[in-house]
Amino acid sequence: MSKRPLFVSSDSSENWRSAAPYTALMRADRRSFAWEWLRRHHPYRQAWEERHLPPAAFGLLAYEDPDRPTPLARPIWTRERDPRVIDSTPVAGAHGEGDFLDIRALADLVSVEVDETGSEHWLLSDGHWAVRLALHDGTLLAGPALLEHRLLGLDAAALKLETLEQLIALARGGDMPTKLRPREVRAPRWILELRTADGLAAGASQQVLARAFFGSAISGRCWRTDSASYRLRVQRLVKAARRRLTNPLDGPWFS
């Protein structure tokens, strides 16, 4: 039996030496990193081709093409995977016009999946940030809707309130205000881990990785001893890349 490859080529595999192909992730929601690792995950890519597993096995409502990187991809994560999803229900009532959500006004940002129960799962995204609604017992397709949102608990409610604030801003202004756009302070480190995985997929050795990442700081001769601290850094990056590729959703992506 052949061994499954750990490092899978992606569209970035040949461009890993440069940070440029990864710059979109500097402005992306951390859930984008979950997608970047998942699309490099060999079992997911195989399942995408063969459809032998339900997408929920990978935390998705529907399969997303693994060749679509951030910000082109629009993965819709399940409610079980993503704690930021707001559970909403259309209700009848007399309220002001500003209380109604008209999804048609946000058409350029919208993706939707309907599950086997008829519930609508809405994603509003420009590819960098994501707002998720799970709509029960109704539809947003019929025009402006008055929504009742379910919040439960304290910690869980805090994440959903952030999503609700983003939704309100979108509905009122048609775009995400800068102050509500995610800025992930760990993005540079996570990008370096992705570049490591792509470099290894392209056949790069640890020394080649070190020279690409740290340039002239790497000794021209006995790098193992003269650049020992950088060698350790690369070893840690390789270890992290292997761990992420094995369990792509096992990270702080959804917190």
Q: What is the pLDDT of residues 31-42, one digit of tens each?
A: 999 999 999 999
* Three-class secondary structure assignment of the chain: CCCCCCCCCCCCHHHCCCCHHHHHHHHCCCHHHHHHHHCCCHHHHHHHHHCCCCHHHHCECCCCCCCCCCCCCCCCECCCCCCCCEEEEECCCCCCHHHEECHHHHHHHEEEEECCCCCEEEEEECCCCEEEEEECCCCCCCCCEEEEEECCCCHHHHHHHHHHHHHHHHHHHCCCCHHHCCCCCCHHHHHHHHHHHHHHHCCCCHHHHHHHHHHHHCCCCCHHHHCHHHHHHHHHHHHHHHHHHHCCCCCHHHC
CB atoms within 10 A of CB 122: 23
For residue 30, count CB atoms less than 10 angstroms from its CB and return exposed for 0-12, middle for 13-18, buried for 19 or more: middle
The whole model's pTM is what? 0.91
5-25 pLDDT, tens digit per residue, is 454 555 555 689 999 999 999
What angle do the packed helices 187-201 and 31-38 form, to 10 degrees? 10
Indicate the range of 41-55, 151-165, 216-230 predicted with least confidence. 216-230
Tokens of 246: 């094995």
| Burial zone of 15 (CB within 10 Å; 0-12 exposed, 13-18 middle, 19+ buried) | middle
CB 190 within 8 A of CB 182: no
Query: Looking at residue 1, what is its pLDDT?
Result: 34
Alpha-carbon distance 133 to 85, whole Å?
A: 6
What single letter denotes the amino acid at residue 88?
A: S
- Where along the chain do its domains lie? 18-75+185-254, 86-180
pLDDT attached to residue 167: 96
The pLDDT of residue 8 is 53
Q: Higher pLDDT residue, 97 or 126?
A: 126
Residues 157-173: tens digit of each pLDDT: 999 999 999 999 999 99
At residue 12, the pLDDT reads: 53
In percent, how much of the chain has pLDDT > 70?
A: 93
CA distance 253 to 203: 28
